[in-house]
Copies of this chain bind each other. A is one copy, B any other.
Amino acid sequence: MPKLTNLELTALADSFPYPNSPDHKIIASSLYQFTSHDLKANLGYLLPFVVDALRDLNDLFVVSDADQRVSIRPEFDTVEKRSKMMNDLALKWRIDNKFRILEGWRSELYPIYYPSSEIYFTIERSASAIFGFVTYGVHMTAYVAASDSKPLRIWVPRRSRTKATYPSMLDNTVAGGIGYPYGVFDTLIKECGEEAGFDPDLIKEKARSVGNVSYYYIRTSSAGGESGFLQPEVQYCYDLEVTEDTPPPRPVDGEAEDFYLWDLERVKEELAVGNYKPNTALVTLDFLVRHGVITPENEPNYLEITSRMHRHLEHPLR
């Protein structure tokens, strides 16, 4: 298999074409916007078979074929009403086996924002991709800095072979979705304990907020459930510098099968052969950019990569 370039790796995570591109016109022509009850905000893009599923629910939604738009009915005018309506619907679909993606039911709520920074409603995590909603997570890269005798090395977990999504693929040291009502850093501390056994005090003292990646993913079969759902995502990124003496990460909750301490040559090799989960590859590329490993001199597609991993998403955001 030919090796993947860093731009190809980026495009695996940021797979929805940009507006203005010919591909975008073709794909977007079949999509409907899912809008707020006041019609002002596009909360996500719907595939045609989802529009069909919403079409008969006249008491919940208004479908406008002329505008390629499905809106929440105006009477759902509070967070509570919208949250109840959306979750009752997701639960009904789950019982009816309407969408395979709901087999991955998480019993975890994700907040949807509108206006930006304000929660508009919450919805069961596994249902959010059906509507194309923006979702949020935290990713942390733990690394041992270079010393005189050894190069910089990263702690890389392999996902459990029994996980429903991306089994056995490589991941960032710690990664998890931000569920309601948790904050960004709270989620990081929680995931660091659950997935890798890191001491909360270590994280509070040493984990450094270093930016975020954002991208527009089109789900594939490896993500579980139906292919094709639009999934705009934001991952808040943290670096954790550890030493040889820091207790190493260890599998706790079974999400990770094992952790490896790899130098960057090995990390780049594993990236290039496609062994990383797409969005964790993107976070790793961001790490390599920030740490001066991928540079304007050695990466011909540098600017395309750095802008696409910080994609401006056309929806209200957290």
Task: Give the chain B neighbours of A214 by CB distance below 8 A.
Answer: 303, 306-307
Are the CB atoms of B184 and A234 closer together than 8 Å? no
Report if A318 contacts B (CB, 8 A).
Answer: yes
A297 contact from B184, B208, B297, B309, Cβ within 8 A = B184
Q: In the bound complex, do residue A307 and residue B304 qualify as a contact, i.e. CB atoms below 8 Å apart? A: no
Question: A183 an interface residue at 8 Å Cβ cutoff?
Answer: yes
Q: Are B295 and A209 in contact (CB under 8 A)?
A: yes
Chain B's nearest CB lies how many Å from the CB of A105? Answer: 28
Could you say which of B19, B297, B302, B303 contacts A183, with CB atoms under 8 Å apart? B297
- A-B pairs, 4 with minimum CB distance: A310-B310, A208-B292, A307-B312, A209-B295
Residues of B within 8 A of A212 (CB): 296, 302-303, 306
Our pick among B19, B210, B304, B310 for the contact of A116 (Cβ within 8 Å) is B304
Residues of B within 8 A of A211 (CB): 289-290, 306
Q: How far is the CA of A20 from the CA of B184 in the complex (A)?
A: 29
Most buried by B among A292, A311, A312: A312
Closest to A312 in B: B307
A306 CA / B292 CA spacing, docked (Å): 19
Cα A132 to Cα B189 in complex, Å, equals 46
Q: Provide the bound-state CA to CA distance between A300 and B116, in Å.
A: 9
Q: How many copies does the complex hold?
A: 2
**Interface code A280-318, partner B: CB below 8 Å = 1, 0 otherwise?**
000000000111100111001111101111111110011
| Given A184-B297, A303-B234, A292:B19 Cβ within 8 A | no
A18 within 8 A of B: yes
Q: Is A221 an interface residue (CB 8 A)?
A: no
Question: Which residues of B have CB within 8 Å of A58?
Answer: none
Q: In the complex the two chains form, is A313's CB within 8 Å of B307's CB?
A: yes
> In the assembled complex, which residues on chain B have CB atoms less than 8 Å from the CB atom of A312?
18, 307-308, 311-312
Question: In the complex where A20-B19, A307-B310, A310-B310 touch, is A296 in contact with B184 (Cβ < 8 A)?
Answer: yes
Which residues of chain B come closer than 8 Å to A20, judged between CB atoms?
Answer: 19, 314
| Min CB gap A185→B, angstroms | 6
**Residues of B contacting A32 with CB < 8 Å?**
none
Cβ contact of A185, chosen from B236, B297, B301, cutoff 8 A: B297
Q: Kindly name the residue among A19, A289, A306, A311 whose own CB sees the greatest number of chain B CB atoms within 10 A.
A: A306
**Whole-angstrom distance from the CB of A11 to the nearest CB of chain B?**
13
Question: A231 to B268, alpha carbons, bound, how many Å?
Answer: 35
**19 new A-B contacts at CB < 8 Å, known A184-B296, A209-B295, A234-B303:** A183-B297, A184-B297, A185-B295, A185-B296, A185-B297, A208-B291, A209-B296, A209-B297, A210-B290, A211-B289, A211-B290, A212-B302, A212-B303, A212-B306, A214-B307, A307-B312, A307-B313, A311-B312, A312-B312
